Structure 1
């Protein structure tokens, strides 16, 4: 089971770590897009989102307080879905559909991150192939 969980952690974290690169190398362009969506202090928000993805992704990948890392990713994903992919505000059908797909992806990933939080916090130190145990302890 440890190897399967490690493979899952690698696959899950890869998405966020790859996205982090864009947040730090294309901050200006991403901030413009975020500002167009109504995000205040868009450049700072883009960098903050990149930081959440970096720390959360590395935490899950390396197994260093992976429960906290999963929580950080959920904290990134839910507001991103609601603010950046508000499909209900789109009037053009194709734009609405594309935003709905991104919204649903972010919400599903947030659900997966919350399940990981619960899993890591519950299994605790019994899970191998991690550098630390969980930060949180759930029943």
Structure 2
């Protein structure tokens, strides 16, 4: 079971780690898109979101307070959905459909991250292949 949880953790964070790399290495380009979505301080927001995804992704991947990492990824995902993919404001049907898909992807990732948070906070001490147990504990 420990190996399955590790594989699941690694597959889950792959998207976040790849996105974090883009946010932190192509900040100007990413900030341009962020600005086009009306997010204030787009460069700072791009860097901050890259750091959150990197820290949360590494945390979940290596099992270093993975509950907090999963919670950070959930917060990022829900924020990205609402700030970046406001499909309800799109008038073009194709753009609306694309933004709705991205919105739903981010909310699904956020939901999965909440499940991981609960899993780590509840069973984290009993999981192998983790650097630490959970920072928080729920019963």
- Shorter-chain TM band: over 0.9
Rounded Cα–Cα distance in structure 2 between residues aligned with 1:127 and 1:135: 14
Match of 2:127 in 1: 127
Match of 1:50 in 2: 50
Runs of 4+ residues over 4 Å off in structure 1? none
50-59 or 12-21, larger mean C-alpha shift: 12-21
SS in 2 for 1:135: coil
Rounded Cα–Cα distance in structure 2 between residues aligned with 1:41 and 1:64: 30
- How many residue pairs get aligned? The number is 139
Rounded Cα–Cα distance in structure 1 between residues aligned with 2:122 and 2:35: 39
Rounded Cα–Cα distance in structure 1 between residues aligned with 2:25 and 2:64: 26
Match of 1:27 in 2: 27
For structure 1, the residue ranges without an aligned partner over 5 or more in a row are: none
TM-score by length of 2: 0.98
Rounded Cα–Cα distance in structure 1 between residues aligned with 2:133 and 2:105: 29
Rounded Cα–Cα distance in structure 2 between residues aligned with 1:86 and 1:115: 24
Deviation at residue 26 of structure 1 after TM alignment = 1.1
Q: CA RMSD in A?
A: 0.6
Rounded Cα–Cα distance in structure 2 between residues aligned with 1:97 and 1:26: 26
Match of 1:97 in 2: 97
Deviation at residue 9 of structure 1 after TM alignment = 0.3
Rounded Cα–Cα distance in structure 2 between residues aligned with 1:2 and 1:29: 39
Rounded Cα–Cα distance in structure 1 between residues aligned with 2:124 and 2:12: 19
TM-score by length of 1: 0.98
Deviation at residue 124 of structure 1 after TM alignment = 2.4
